Structure 1
Amino acid sequence: MVAGMVLMVFLTASFLHLARLRIKLLLIIILISTSILRAQKITGPLVLNNERLSVTAKEFYVAGIIDDRSDRTAIAWLLSPGRGVAKYAVDLKGGASTAIRQFVNAALPPDKMLRPVIIHIEKFRLDETQLPGNHVEGKVKVSLSFYLQRDGQNIHLTDYNGSAGYNRFANQEVDIEMVLRHALEYSLTFFNTWINNEAGTNIKLAKNVKISFTDYTEQPEGDTIYYSFKRPLRWDDFKAKPLSNSRFGAEVLPSIGYNEDVGVNKSTVNVHLDLKAFLPKSACWVRTDSKNAYSLNHEQRHFDIVKIIIERFKQKLKAEKFTVDNYDGPINVQYLESFHEMNVMQDQYDTETAHGMNMAAQEEWNKKIDKELVGFR
């Protein structure tokens, strides 16, 4: 008599996204046996069936496997045949990291033109437990961490936690290799799906950096004036009270700044800077007897200088070589250098023109500033 038996292996997995979303799936593997088989003790190390997955990795290749398990003695702890509860250990041939590396290379042949990913094995273990009624329960737990290898650093991407389970009679055989292999196949397929979904928008997976600029404007105009060639200074912009202890007839305090916006699209980090050459009206003052066209021109040139500096800042950033790991650093450095350059140029302007009292020097600075501004109109 031929007896039929169905053995169901359940594989569940949770996959942690960077957005902290956890997805759970259930895979049911059905094994149909044409007869009741007598369980036999496995006498040697397991050899994984190295076969190619049905999916193709288009965004990554596995550059290495690192075994971080706390217990590396064996992969499987199985119950001996018969009514006893003694367990025996079975490992993968060549050890876990070697066997899994060979399996992964066969399952997903490496294309080294893609992103290199390192897989850390946190847990990979099968344990069998004796149940009442001459039954045996088997449980596989898999925990993997995936890291991107870039510029000598390992960047954590995501974690995979999966489990598989089966129930069998004590005298029934289970294809342990198949159970372990499917658990690994499932983890690789799941990661391949994850990285395909994340590749275009996840900043950790970006490949290059693109920087763009606009000149900040604000409408309606408030206390702050943002530089525009169509918006020269007027005496009614000078809102502060004159300083009683100052020997000058007027003063302005222009400066530079920027707003930054970062987004990722098609594996490119898009850094957008909204540049600010600005002047607060509440920090500007003028004495009544100094309100003339010559003095207003001198103050306007202070404002023109910050426009020149912010444009130089832009040109320096255009020439910079940014990396996805470090784009804010160079921007900050260039900004501080430009801020210092602005202060030096403002001091030089006031010193050489004697704060506008030296008309010949003032005319030379007018020409110098106009010449550089022409290129920015």
Structure 2
Amino acid sequence: MQNALLGLVLMGLLSFSPPVGPIRLSPQSLPFTPKEFYIATVTDQRSEQGPIARLALMLNQSAQPVDLDDGVASHFRQFINQNLKQNRSLRPIAMRIRQCKVSETANGNRVTGTFTFAAAFELLGKDDSGNETSTRLTEYRGSANYTRPLNQLSVIEPTIRQALVASLKSLNDYMNREAGQNEKLAKSLNVTIIDDTRITDDDTVHYNPSRKLTWADFRATPRQGSHYAAEVFTSFAYEGKSSVKDGIINVNLTLKGYMLKNSSWGRQEARNDYSLNHEQRHFDVVKIIVERFKRKIQPDSLTLDDYNSIIQYQFIESFREMNHMQEQYDGETNHGINQAAQERWNQKIDAELRTFGVKK
């Protein structure tokens, strides 16, 4: 009877899995000091929530769930604040934990384990309305395999800690490398605008105050069915490119007000100075719109995150403004027939061109 009871006790001891406390990362002096960022927040975005580890503690027993003390986000945040020098005047970075998992399998008195870790880093900011924004910068992925005795857990903590430190070092290397040349990390923006005033012999006449339109520029055949004396095809466009140097986005824009010769025409009987002036004023309206457009795309009206979209939006708005002004000009002058209205528009156009420093 005593032997039977002893056997039951021994079986109970063998099947009992002693509780394991939460994992706590040891302090570690990190071998770098961030000069471009600080970790503002850590969030747990794992697809598999719950304890990070399932540890094999006993033979023929299910693995026991074990978590980091206070959970993944809180414990990693504490480790970072204690061991990484945080200069809050630098760029704020959010660390998103995507994967942090320890899996183990016991085989006799040996345990094989696999640790997988993944984190994403995002730049935090605010939009024009004060709402918080985030911009994806870089990711880190790592894994480790280990073997340990069944009754020794010492390898687990440094495995997790080393992965966390490696991810922070990877971020530091990325920021040091990219800070001066990556648009996402730029701190300011400059805009340089050039007017395309080339005088060429091809189909395009670029707006140039010293190069007025002539009737020789009107090469197209008059449109059948049109009761107008002449038509001029004018418009404007821009070409842009950007580069980053020393953390500054340099936006270079070339603006072009132009007239197309092979799309413009004038009837022979209407080719006089008065009619030509009316068509020239259509071209001058384009120049006015180009100058107004310039003033809409200065650095203080652009944002680092969305400057290109703002420029495109303002271009579209300016294009609509140009069409409206051209229609208003033709409507009020009755396409040049109303000479008094034509003279008022001549003066109005010249006055605005002078405000922009355009000599007539």
C-alpha distance in 2 between matches for 1:365 and 1:311? 18
Q: Say whether residues 1:92 and 2:72 are aligned partners.
A: no
TM-score with structure 2 setting the length: 0.83
* Per-residue deviation, 1:283: 1.7
How far has the Cα of 1:141 moved from its partner?
A: 1.0
Cα drift, residue 41 of structure 1: 7.2
Residue 171 of structure 1: CA displacement? Answer: 6.1
Name the TM-score, length of structure 1 as normaliser: 0.79
Q: Distance in 2 between matches of 1:139 and 1:362?
A: 83
Higher strand fraction (1 or 2): 1
Who is 1:246 aligned against? 226
Match among 191, 206, 214 for residue 171 of structure 2:
191
How far 1:219 moved relative to its partner?
7.2
1:340 aligns with 2:290: no
* Distance (Å, rounded) in 1 between the aligned partners of 2:296 and 2:258: 20
Contact 1:52 1:106 in 2 (8 A): no
Query: What do the CA deviations read for 1:16-53 (whole angstroms, capped 9, x no partner)?
Result: xxxxxxxxxxxxxxxxxxxxxxxx97842222123341
The match for 2:88 is 112
Residue aligning to 1:300: 280
Matched pairs, number? 336
CA distance in structure 1 between the aligned counterparts of 2:333 and 2:152, rounded to whole angstroms: 99
Contact 1:85–1:130 under 8 Å retained in 2: no
CA distance in 1: counterparts of 2:294 and 2:319, whole angstroms: 13
1:256-313, Cα deviation, whole Å (9 max, x unpaired) = 2222223333333333322121111122111112222232222112111111111111
Matched residue type, 1:355: H
Indicate how the Cα distance of structure 1 residues 217 and 107 shifts in structure 2: closer, same or farther if over 3 A, else same.
farther
Q: Is structure 2 residue 245 aligned with structure 1 residue 265? A: yes
Q: Report the residue type matching 1:62 in the other structure.
A: I
Aligned-pair CA distance for 1:333: 3.4
Which of 48, 68, 74 lines up with 2:51 in the alignment?
74
Task: For 1:336, give the aligned amino acid.
Answer: I
Following superposition, the deviation at residue 348 of structure 1 comes to 3.2
How well do the aligned residues superpose, as a CA RMSD in angstroms? 2.7
Q: Which is further off, 179-188 or 365-374?
A: 365-374
Does 306-315 or 216-225 show the bigger shift? 216-225
1:137 partnered with 2:112? yes
User: What is the deviation of 1:360?
Assistant: 4.2
Equivalent residue number for residue 9 of structure 2: none
8 Å contact from structure 1 (residues 42, 90) kept in 2: no
**Equivalent in 204, 212, 234 of residue 232 of structure 1:** 212
Counterpart mapping for 1:1-377 below 5 A: 43-80=20-57, 86-131=62-107, 134-151=109-126, 152-170=132-150, 174-216=154-196, 220-318=200-298, 320-374=300-354, 375-377=357-359
Superposition deviation, residue 100 in structure 1: 1.0
| Change beyond 3 A, Cα 1:106–1:334 | same
One-letter identity of the residue aligned with 1:215? D
* The 10-residue stretch of structure 1 (303-312 or 118-127) with the greater mean CA deviation from structure 2: 118-127
The answer (yes or no) to whether the contact 1:301–1:366 under 8 Å persists in 2 is yes
Shift of 1:103: 0.5
CA distance in 2 between partners of 1:333 and 1:71 (Å):
42
CA distance in 2, matches of 1:170, 1:358: 100
Amino acid at match of 2:278: H
1:187-210, Cα deviation, whole Å (9 max, x unpaired): 111111112212222222233333
Task: Report SS of the residue matched to 2:81.
Answer: helix
CA distance in 2, matches of 1:348, 1:220: 31
Contact 2:68 2:75 in 1 (8 A): yes
| SS of 1:73 mapped into structure 2 | coil
Report the identity percentage.
Answer: 43
Conserved 8 A contact 2:116-2:142: yes
Preserved CA contact (<8 Å) 2:42 2:77: yes
Distance 1:242 1:42, change over 3 A: same
Q: Is the 8 A contact 2:240 2:252 kept in 1?
A: yes
TM-aligned CA distance change 1:354 to 1:319, over 3 Å = farther
SS in 2 for 1:142: strand
User: Which has the higher mean CA deviation after the structures are superposed, 203-212 or 90-99?
Assistant: 203-212
Contact 2:45–2:96 (Cα < 8 Å) also in 1: yes
